[in-house]
């Protein structure tokens, strides 16, 4: 039997992991190695050099212990992207305290349930959220400490003394002259980081990562075969810092390689950040990439320093990727593929000719195969099936189900993604396995319908879902953003275009909804099951 080309881009002889250590200690060592590189808020333009970040990490580690938050405890970080998140997370990791990030906006009852279920010892929040945090602490007394990630004037509630500001936290952790720091302890398979899945496969689950799996993620992605940055580079992440893509694939990778790392608080600030901080490496999403290209003010910014762009979180349209590469005069445009459960699976190799449609080649230490969904049989090049993977960056499991194996008996993790690979070992993502819908007994791929509709000259953006139908089971419905000047066009124009350019099964029998922007989640991902409910609601139908 011929050897499969689906192998890691890194030669097995060069693959070396250093996993028996604390994740916070590993990143702290690199912060101290590259003390002059900077940690940058691209929205406010505040910056801290890595040497000062390292000092804050140590202060947070010590302060948590003095506050009674001990190894094995968990903290909840409820915040938007801000400079304090990095030393907060790394300081907790160094203390063997696990962190979970949640985006602000949840109601108190929802948060109270989460705090009870995961037994958080401390909550980190924005200054504007202090009073709600105090209310939450009253609802869940086991929550010992509220850490405000900045300074506030009215932090104290008359009946609550559990609130501490960021500067007070650092002051509490700073040691007197000559007092040595205790060595950072490595605890095998300890929980380091938790995050919620995006919900593309159903109800969101809490993913649990160990120090070892995060070390494997960062060490694999930092291998020079994928992208080699240095102290002259500035890497910018456009997604939330609490997400694995921004925190580990961008920020921690930059720290390990010595580059400066930057983030933005909102996607509206990306162009200004690229210009002001002379960003050389941008890690973004398809949605933000489109927004950058379509922004009429782009010509007012100097983007000449930008050399490398990585797109992730969902598959980018090939034409959009090519246009981005050409119009911004890039050296490299790659896709990165991973999931919350296994953050770094594949990426385009550094220096290779661009393959805009591909999600790249396997990362260091990763094994994969594409197998038939029905039989489980491994498939060959250009045959579509489910991608299954195994590697050292796989999660410990889901919270509440850690006793259940995350893989099958052979160690394979099912991604739920339909993929194929070519003769050279490059992977291609087709769609989520659950995105298909059946119309009159025929499986229909919404991604393929979208690929036809996107070629319509008057379509700026689109998404296709299957709507329930009494006779057909499901029928295709398109949510369309029309191009400027095409607002007068009715649904019939777009349904006719699909009828004339695609098979009968692709027809938009469910109609068309026009919008100014496609509804997506906070990561720019299209969650089709939620879009179905949104469309039904717009048309007055029950879900």
The pLDDT of residue 302 = 97
In the chain, where the domains are located: 27-38+48-176, 193-433, 444-538
In this structure, which topology does domain 444-538 adopt according to CATH? GMP Synthetase; Chain A, domain 3 (3.30.300)
The pLDDT of residue 19 = 96
CB under 8 Å to 183, separation ≥6 — which residues? none
Q: Do 27-38+48-176 and 444-538 fold alike per CATH?
A: no
Strand ordering across the sheet containing 260-263 = 47-49, 38-41, 260-263, 234-237, 281-284, 308-311, 332-337, 346-347, 361-362
Q: Are 1 and 222 in contact (CB under 8 A)?
A: no
Q: Are 61 and 38 in contact (CB under 8 A)?
A: no
CATH fit for domain 193-433, picks 2.40.50.100, 3.40.630.40, 3.40.50.12780, 3.40.50.2300: 3.40.50.12780
- The per-residue pLDDT string of the chain (543 residues; one tens digit each, 9 = 90 and over) reads 455 678 888 887 777 899 999 999 999 999 999 999 999 999 999 999 999 999 999 999 999 999 999 999 999 999 889 999 999 999 999 999 999 998 777 778 878 888 888 999 999 999 988 988 999 988 988 898 999 998 776 555 434 678 999 999 999 999 765 566 789 999 999 999 999 875 545 456 899 999 999 999 999 999 988 889 999 999 999 999 988 999 999 999 999 999 999 999 988 999 999 999 999 999 999 889 988 998 999 999 999 999 999 999 888 889 999 999 999 999 999 999 999 999 999 999 877 889 999 999 999 999 999 999 888 899 999 999 999 999 999 999 999 999 999 999 899 999 989 899 999 999 999 877 777 787 876 778 888 898 889 889 999 999 999 898 877 788 999 999 999 999 999 999 999 999 998 888 889 999 999 999 998 877 677 788 888 889 998 887 655
- The two tokens of residue 346 are 């594949």
Alpha-carbon distance values, 378 to 74, 407, 426 (Å): 41, 17, 16
pTM of the complete model = 0.84
CATH fit for domain 27-38+48-176, picks 1.10.3720.10, 3.40.190.10, 3.40.50.980, 3.40.50.970: 3.40.50.980
Q: Are 128 and 141 in contact (CB under 8 A)?
A: no
The pLDDT of residue 159 = 47
Quickly count: other Cβ atoms within 10 Å of residue 126's Cβ.
Answer: 17
């Amino acid at each position: 039997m011929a050897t499969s080309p689906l192998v890691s881009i890194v030669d097995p002889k060069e693959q070396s992991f250093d996993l028996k250590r604390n994740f916070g200690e590993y990143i702290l060592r690199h912060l101290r190695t590259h003390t002059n590189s900077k940690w940058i808020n691209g929205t406010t333009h505040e910056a801290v050099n890595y040497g000062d970040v390292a000092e804050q990490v140590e202060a947070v580690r010590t302060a948590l212990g003095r506050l009674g938050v001990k190894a094995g405890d968990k903290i909840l970080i409820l915040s938007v992207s801000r400079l304090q998140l990095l030393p907060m997370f790394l300081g907790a990791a160094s203390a063997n305290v696990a962190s979970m990030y949640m985006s602000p906006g949840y109601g108190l009852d929802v948060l109270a349930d989460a705090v009870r279920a995961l037994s958080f010892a401390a909550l980190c929040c924005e200054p504007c959220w202090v009073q709600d945090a105090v209310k939450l602490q009253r609802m869940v007394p086991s929550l010992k400490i509220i850490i405000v990630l900045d300074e506030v004037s009215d932090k104290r509630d008359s009946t609550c003394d559990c609130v501490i500001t960021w500067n007070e936290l650092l002051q509490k952790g700073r040691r007197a002259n000559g007092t040595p720091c205790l060595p950072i302890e490595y605890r095998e398979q300890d929980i380091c980081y938790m995050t919620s899945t995006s919900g593309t496969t159903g109800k969101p689950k809490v993913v649990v990562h160990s120090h070892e799996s995060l070390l494997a993620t960062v060490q694999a992605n930092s291998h020079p075969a994928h992208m080699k940055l240095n102290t002259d580079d500035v890497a910018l992440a456009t997604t939330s810092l609490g997400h694995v893509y921004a925190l580990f694939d961008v920020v921690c990778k930059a720290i390990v390689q010595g580059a400066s790392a930057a983030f933005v608080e909102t996607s509206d600030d990306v162009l200004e950040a690229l210009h002001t901080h002379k960003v050389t490496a941008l890690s973004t999403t398809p949605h933000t990439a489109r927004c950058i290209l379509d922004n009429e003010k782009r010509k007012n910014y100097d983007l000449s320093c930008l050399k490398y762009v990585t797109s992730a979180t969902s598959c980018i349209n090939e034409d959009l990727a090519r246009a981005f590469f050409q119009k911004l005069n890039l050296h490299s445009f790659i896709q990165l593929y991973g999931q919350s459960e296994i953050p770094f699976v594949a990426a385009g190799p550094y220096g290779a000719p661009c393959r805009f449609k591909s999600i790249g080649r396997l990362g260091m230490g990763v094994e994969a195969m594409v197998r038939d969904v029905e039989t489980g049989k491994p498939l060959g090049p250009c045959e579509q099936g489910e991608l299954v993977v195994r590697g050292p960056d796989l999660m410990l499991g889901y919270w509440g189900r850690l006793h259940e194996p995350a893989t099958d008996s052979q160690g394979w993790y099912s991604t739920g993604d339909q993929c194929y690979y070519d003769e050279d070992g490059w992977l291609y993502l087709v769609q989520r396995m659950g995105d298909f819908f059946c119309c009159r007994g025929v499986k229909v791929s919404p991604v393929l319908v979208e690929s036809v509709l996107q070629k319509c000259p008057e379509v700026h953006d689109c998404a296709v879902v299957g709507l329930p139908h009494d006779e057909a089971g499901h029928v295709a419905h398109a949510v369309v953003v029309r191009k400027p000047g095409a607002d007068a066009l009715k649904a019939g124009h777009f349904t006719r275009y699909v009828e004339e350019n695609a098979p009968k099964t692709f027809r938009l029998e469910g109609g068309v909804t026009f919008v100014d922007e496609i509804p997506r989640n906070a990561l720019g991902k299209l969650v089709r099951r939620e879009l179905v409910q949104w469309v039904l609601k717009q048309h007055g139908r029950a879900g």
